[in-house]
Amino acid sequence: MNVSGWILALGQTALLILLAPLLSGWIKWVKCKFQNRRGPIPWQPYRDLAKLFRKEVVMAQQASPLFRATPYLVFSVTVLASSIVPAFAVGLPTAVIADVIVMVGFFALARFFLCLAGMDLGTAFGGMGASREVTISSLTEPAMLLSIFTLAMTFTSTNLDAMVLHTLTQPFQIYPSFIFAGMSLLLVGVAECGRIPIDNPATHLELTMIHEAMILEYSGRHLALLEWASMLKMLIFGVLICNLFLPWGTALHLEPTAIAVGLLTLGIKLMGIGFVLAASESVLAKMRLFRTPELLSLAFIIALLGMLGHVILEVH
């Protein structure tokens, strides 16, 4: 039992939780710059969260205990997911708690409860959001698993830690299948985090909402927890995509300089991916709901292609 490792692991989890609003703020800021708007400062989400935490909770009379428990559950599951991602160092003791399939399972669990909470009150919006969410997730989840399987087959491991370590310690090489897996994972990330072109995080027009429709009835600290959880989820996806495909810079040993380098490179990578996301959101328009299956099945096909590519091109 290495104490410093556990402290670092806790520190990493805390850092990811605290960083999550900043990434959202950064994306929003860059997006505004792209669109020639002044835009809120990047740390605006912190202020929003603080405001929400201060506010009173207004809850519908029909709400069941499940409705009240869901924000805490979603938040804690997402926090646990953040603790198993290797963010700036490999070899943290929390990393072996769960592998990447379990992490997908965590997101599915959070979504399961969020959808139920949406249906709890018996309003049309909640049901609509839940119905759309499960539809989209039933297409994204397999695509995500499949693209991860491509990596897992190459690395012969499903542990995120082992995957990152493998890329860092083996001589550099280009895997064609990774290009597919990466593209698919990007598409999936966009869909899972409810970004354009699948869902619009800024929309308040009821008919186009997905994620927003499910949490329409939440307010105050409950809403704050859910918002924070979704920011954290986006950060996890960002870290995952960065570190699975471009892990360089991540600390191999738990020593101060390596960790400092790891933190710095993580920051740069995240800023980069935030920039890409903001750019793509500026040039794309939100898709009609029934066009999204085409995009998501493309993600699925790309992932499948990656896997077949791995079998065809990389295994002799």
Residue (165 or 270) nearer to other proteins, CB: 165
With CB under 8 A, what is the number of residues at the site for other proteins? 105
Residue 54 within binding range of other proteins, rule CB under 8 A = yes
**Which amino acid, one-letter code, is at 100?**
V
Site for other proteins in 293-312 (CB under 8 A): 293-294, 297-298, 300-305, 307-309, 311-312
Cα angle value 29/31/32 (rounded, 5°): 65
For residue 298, give both structure tokens. Answer: 């493309």
Residue 7 within binding range of other proteins, rule CB under 8 A = no
The size of the chain, in residues, is: 316
Q: One symbol per residue from 257 to 296: x for binding other proteins (CB under 8 A), - otherwise; what is it?
A: --------------------------------xx--xx--
- CB–CB of 103/145 below 8 Å? no
For residue 251, the cross-strand partners are 89
Residue 35 within binding range of other proteins, rule CB under 8 A = no
Residue in 4, 199, 205, 236 with CA at minimum distance from that of residue 110: 236
CA pair distance 298, 65, nearest whole angstrom: 39
Find the part of the chain contacting other proteins (CB under 8 A) among 35-43, 65-73, 188-196, 244-252.
65-73
Residue 46 within binding range of other proteins, rule CB under 8 A = no
Residue (57 or 261) nearer to other proteins, CB: 57
Site for other proteins in 85-124 (CB under 8 A): 96-99, 101-102, 105-106, 108-109, 111-112, 115-116, 118-124
Q: Phi/psi of residue 154, each to 5°?
A: -70, -40
Residue 205 within binding range of other proteins, rule CB under 8 A = no
For residue 312, give both structure tokens. Answer: 């065809």
Residue 168 within binding range of other proteins, rule CB under 8 A = no
CB atoms closer than 10 angstroms to residue 43: 13
CA pair distance 51, 60, nearest whole angstrom: 21
Task: Give the shortest CB-76-to-other proteins separation in angstroms.
Answer: 3
Residue 220 within binding range of other proteins, rule CB under 8 A = yes
